[in-house]
Structure 1
Amino acid sequence: MVLPAALALSGCVATPQPGITDSSTPSQVTSAQVPTTSAPLETTQASNKAPVYWIGRSNESTFLYREFREVPEQDNPVTRALRVMMSQKPLDPDFFTPWQNPKKLASSISGKNVITVDLSADAFNSNVDPAMAERAVQQLVYTATAAAASAGLIDAGQQIQVVVLVDGHTDFVAFNHVRLGSPTARGVGMVAPVWIIDPQEGTSIADGAVKISGRSTAPGGRLRWEILRIDGNVKTAYLNGTMTASAEAGQSGAFSLLVNLGPGNYEVRVSQLEDGNPAEDLNVDTRGFTVK
C-alpha cells in the first residue's frame, strides 16, 4: 500500500505529558560493558524468511535480538515482518514483544530511503515503562529496516529512517512515553552485545559437524562458548572454549565455530570476556537446538 504524501505531513495535537521522549532521539545504553553501536544493516537474501527483532534481557540490561521467521505471501516485505513482530511470539522463550496485533498496518518506501509505517492505535495496548517503550519503538525501526534491506528494496549504502504514523497522523505518543512522527534511524546501544544467529531456537540439525555463528558488538573481543547437553530437565556441560570476534571490515564482530555433536538435545551459550575479570560471563546469549 502506498501512503499519500499528505499523510506524512498531517498531524494531531498531542496533550503535553512529562517525561516524553522523541522517537528520533532514544536514550543510549551507557553501561561501560556495552559498546554503543547498532547492528549492521541486513544484506539482500533470496530466502522467503523475514528478519524480525524481539526484545530480550541480558545481565541487567535489555536489548534487541533477531530471528528469521516464515511469513505469509500477502503484503509487502516490511508489512509482513512487522505483522509477525506484532502478532506472533518469538521462537526463543527468552525474548518477548510488547506490541499488540493492530487492525490496520501498512508501509511504503520513498526514494529517499525513508520507510513510512502507518498502523492503528490498538498496537500500543501494553503498559510499559519509558525505557521499554523506547526499545519497542526501536524494535519496529530495526525490523522495518531489516525487512526492506533483506528484500533489496532500499539502498543499504545510505542511512535508512522510519516514520511511524498512527491512523495517518504524526505526534502520537507510543505507550504514553515516546512521541512518533519524526524520521527515526536505528538507535545505538539497542542491539544485543552478543547474539547467536545460527542455530535458531528449536532448530533440528543433522549429526556431525554443527556450525554455530553469531555477532558481538566488540570486534576483536574475546568470547567464551559452552555446549550443554540436555537430558530432560538436566543440563550437563559437554564442550567449551574461547574464540575471538572478527575485527575485519565487513565481518566486524562476527564469530563462528564448528563442533562435532551426536544425536541429542543441546544448548549453546556465548558470552563476552572482560579483561581482568575472566570468571564472569558478560552479556550471555543462549540457543536450544536438537541434533538428529
Structure 2
Amino acid sequence: MDAFPPVPTPRTGAAAIPDVRGQRTAERLRTVDKVAIVALSLTLLLGGCTSANTQNPDSSMPATAASSSTGLVTSAPLETATASQTLPVYWLGRSNSDVFLYREFRASTALDEPIVTALRIMMSNKALDPDYFTLWSAPSRLGASISAKNVITVDVSADAFSQKADAGMAERSVSQLVYTATAAAAMAGLVDTSSPIQVSVLVDGHTGYSAFGHVPLDKPLTRNPAYIAPVWIIDPANGSTYKHLPLKVTGQGVSPTGTLAWSLSHVSEGKVADEYLSGTVNIPQGPNELGEFTFNLVPPNGSYQLSVFIDNPLLPGRKIGIDTKIVTITGSP
C-alpha cells in the first residue's frame, strides 16, 4: 500500500503553520478519536518499570486487575499538530504486575512519511529508555494511507509478528501500533482532532490476520485507554545530559489526591544510591483527573535517578505507577 506524501512531523507548539494545514485539509478528510485514559485502581500497587529482554520475560502478561479496575479519569486529548520535526513512538513498559504504554519522541526530517516512519522505528528499533521494549519485529514491507472514511490503513508483512506473545501482550502490542499510528498522524497535522479516527491493520494486503496468534485484525481499531501509563515523565529523556539549569521536569499523570510525589537519587557507578532530594507536584486538573505536571530542579553536578509516582495516602510508603529517568548534570556552578 502506498505511503503518504512526505510531510514534516512536529512536536511542540499549538498548531501547524496555517497554510500547510490548509493544504493538508484539502488533500485528506481528517478525524481522530477523543481518547479516554487509563483505568487505575486506588489499590493497584505498581513498581518501577524494569529493563526488558527480547524474549521470555516480555512475551507474557501476568494476571492483573489493572485493566478492569475503576478508572480515575475519563478522557484526554490526542497529540496535537506542532512545529518541530519529531515523531511520537509508543513502547511497552512493565510496572510491577502490569504493562503499560509509554511515549518517546524521535528525530525526523521534512522528507519522512510520519506514520510509516514512526511505526518502522517502533518495530525495528529499541527505545531510548532501557525500561521500555517492543515485541514487534522489523517488517520486510510496511505502508500506510488515510481513507475518506477517516480510517488509517496500515499494511504490514507477516514477519512483523514473528515473536511469541500471550494474549495480554498481544493486545498491548496491537494497541502500541494504534497509538503510534494515530499520534504520528495527529502531530503531523494529518487528522482533525475533533472527530474519531480508526486504524485498520492489513497483513500482506489482507484483513482477518491473527496478530501474535491472539488478536484478530478483522475490524478497524481505536485507542484502548486501559493501556496508557498512569504516570510518565516526558522530559527529561532517559540518559539526557544538561549543561544549563534549572532542569525542567514535565510529564503527565493521575492521582486520587491531585498530587504526585517525586524524588532525586544519586547514581554512582551505574547504581542508584542515596536519595538527594524529594518533594511533591500538583496536577492542575485536580484529583482523579489526568493532567500534565511540571517542576524545576537545580541539583549539583552529577548523575541522578529522577522518579515520579503516586503517593496514595491509603498506601503509605508505596510508590504507585512509578516512572524513572537517569539524567546527568554538568553545568551547575
TM-score band, normalised by the shorter chain?
A: 0.7 to 0.9
Please state how far the C-alpha of 1:263 moved relative to its aligned partner: 2.1
The code of the aligned residue for 1:212 comes to V
| Corresponding residue of 1:169 | 206
Describe the shift of the 1:160–1:109 C-alpha distance in structure 2 as closer, same or farther (beyond 3 A). same
Distance (Å, rounded) in 2 between the aligned partners of 1:93 and 1:84 = 15
Please state how far the C-alpha of 1:221 moved relative to its aligned partner: 2.2
For 1:182-261, list aligned pairs within 5 A: 182-218=219-255, 221-234=258-271, 235-247=273-285, 252-261=290-299
Please state how far the C-alpha of 1:110 moved relative to its aligned partner: 2.0
Runs of 4+ in 1 over 4 A off after TM superposition: 36-39, 72-75
Task: Kindly tell me the number of residue pairs found equivalent between the two proteins.
Answer: 266
The code of the aligned residue for 1:126 comes to Q
In the alignment, does 2:151 pair up with 1:114? Answer: yes
The code of the aligned residue for 2:107 comes to E
Equivalent residues of 1:222, 1:242 under 8 A apart: yes
Please state how far the C-alpha of 1:219 moved relative to its aligned partner: 7.7
Candidates 105, 108, 118, aligned match of 1:68: 105
| Corresponding residue of 2:306 | 268
Distance (Å, rounded) in 2 between the aligned partners of 1:209 and 1:39 = 29
Please state how far the C-alpha of 1:274 moved relative to its aligned partner: 1.6
Distance (Å, rounded) in 2 between the aligned partners of 1:232 and 1:142 = 36
Candidates 45, 50, 54, aligned match of 2:82: 45
| Partner SS, residue 131 of structure 1 | helix
Please state how far the C-alpha of 1:60 moved relative to its aligned partner: 1.2
Describe the shift of the 1:127–1:35 C-alpha distance in structure 2 as closer, same or farther (beyond 3 A). farther
The code of the aligned residue for 1:108 comes to S
Q: Which moved more, 1:263-272 or 1:133-142?
A: 263-272
Larger relative strand fraction: 1
| Partner SS, residue 136 of structure 1 | helix
Unaligned runs of 5+ in 1: 4-26
Distance (Å, rounded) in 1 between the aligned partners of 2:322 and 2:88 = 21
Equivalent residues of 2:233, 2:250 under 8 A apart: yes
| TM-score, normalised via structure 1 length | 0.85
Unaligned runs of 5+ in 2: 5-64
* Identical pairs, percent: 47
The code of the aligned residue for 1:120 comes to S
After superposition, what is the alpha-carbon deviation per residue over 1:222-274, rounded to whole angstroms, capped at 9, x for unaligned?
Answer: 211001121213422111011221217xx942111111123221111001122
Describe the shift of the 1:38–1:169 C-alpha distance in structure 2 as closer, same or farther (beyond 3 A). farther
Distance (Å, rounded) in 1 between the aligned partners of 2:66 and 2:222 = 13
The code of the aligned residue for 1:154 comes to V
Candidates 147, 161, 175, aligned match of 1:138: 175
| Corresponding residue of 1:125 | 162
Candidates 286, 289, 292, aligned match of 2:324: 286
Describe the shift of the 1:226–1:107 C-alpha distance in structure 2 as closer, same or farther (beyond 3 A). same
Equivalent residues of 1:221, 1:273 under 8 A apart: no
CA RMSD, 1 decimal: 2.1
| Corresponding residue of 2:185 | 148
| Corresponding residue of 2:142 | 105
